[in-house]
Amino acid sequence: MPWTLLSLLALHWLLGRPDPGPLLPGDLLARVRMARARTLVVQYQHLDLRDLDQADPDVLIVDSSRDGSGAGEWTRAEVARLRERPDGTSRILLAYLSIGEAEDYRSYWPRQGSPPSFAGPENPRWPGNHRVRHWTPAWHRVIFGTPSSFVDRMVDRGFDGLFLDTVDSCEVWEQEGRIGACGEMADLVRHLARHGRSLRRDLVVVANNPFPIWDQPGIRGALTGAMSEDRFFRGGRMIRGRALEEALSPLREARRGGLAILVLEYPRTAAGRRDLTELCRQEGFLCHASTPSLDTIGHILAPGTPPREGR
């Protein structure tokens, strides 16, 4: 949805209300919810509810399953508990979904026999992860559109939205000669978001490093937010000068367009975390500092405050 002056004024007014109500289209309602958030946690493994209650983030991104398997998927009751904050209110809970790579430990991967038709080459950096042929109907059926598909299951379980990872895998396909692969990835994101919002009108959809599809038609309207992961630190230090400005430019543009901007980084030192906190304060980004394994709460970086150490 284009952000008109009227829309921006409506957002400004609604942010002061305890409940925005059903006044706006679903995609804008999702943006209102995300615009209120100030703290973020991303943790895919070993989630402990006591640590979560202590950290108490506004937005929590988790794997859809404790161990990646279908049997380990969070139940409706467990999702409700993950959403519940110590004061009884609800946080925004997003389910991780890799749409550019298939993982051989997921329920959609056959336990025996040949790999599925949508599976491409294995990622040498992440054994068991295969770059997916994201343009194929077989992969689309895994992702959304049937009661057993991922999006439909996660909405049914009570998740507030989706965190779409490996969107940028389309660049590799294009480098290998698949002309238009990033256009096909954009099609997948648009159709996924549209279907998800037919199930839940205020579904939050955040894409990780979506820059290869940034200028595709309809993408910025389909998304609620964009995450920048591992783009601000090199050799343990935050990038500076022109490199920093180039990394910030698309994020600033997206934020002016009404998208929430999330940042996930892996600074190695307290000084790095302070630099990241100051950047997030200046830019109005929603940031989290952790380790690449994403198996602990990490560090809560609230804009305008010093880093708060997780347990």
Query: DSSP letter string over 102-166?
Result: EETTSTTS-SSSSPPTTEEEEPTTSTTEEEE-TTSHHHHHHHSSSTTSHHHHHHHHT--EEEEE-
Neighbour-count burial of 192, counting CB atoms closer than 10 A to its CB (0-12 exposed, 13-18 middle, 19+ buried): buried
Backbone angles phi, psi at 257, to 5 degrees: -85, 5
- The domain limits of the chain are 38-227+246-262+296-304
pTM of the model: 0.89
For 232-308, where are the alpha helices, taking DSSP H only? 241-256, 270-283
Please say whether the structural domain 38-227+246-262+296-304 has been given the CATH code 3.20.20.70. Answer: yes
d(CA 219, CA 226): 11
Rounded to 10 degrees, the C-alpha dihedral 63/216/289/272 comes to: 160
What tens-digit pLDDT sequence spans the chain (311 residues)? Answer: 444 444 444 444 444 433 333 334 557 889 999 999 999 999 998 899 999 999 999 999 999 988 777 778 999 999 999 999 999 999 999 999 999 999 998 989 988 878 999 999 998 888 889 999 999 999 999 999 999 999 999 999 999 999 999 999 999 999 999 999 999 999 999 999 999 999 999 999 999 999 999 999 999 889 999 999 999 999 889 999 999 999 999 999 999 988 999 999 999 999 999 999 999 999 999 999 999 999 988 887 866 444 444 43
- Residue 213's region, left for phi above 0, alpha for psi from -120 to 50, else beta, is alpha
**Res 26: pLDDT:** 59
- The answer to whether 185 and 164 are in contact (CB under 8 A) is no
Cα(first)–Cα(last) distance of the chain, in Å? Answer: 40
Residue type, 127: P
The helix/strand/coil state of 60 is: strand
| Strand duo 92-98 + 129-132: pairing | unpaired
C-alpha dist (Å) from residue 138 to 117, 119, 133, 213: 8, 10, 9, 22
d(CA 49, CA 106): 24
**Radius of gyration over every alpha carbon of the chain, rounded to an integer in angstroms:** 19
C-alpha dist (Å) from residue 279 to 163, 257, 270, 285: 23, 20, 14, 8
- The answer to whether 85 and 119 are in contact (CB under 8 A) is no
- The answer to whether 105 and 68 are in contact (CB under 8 A) is yes
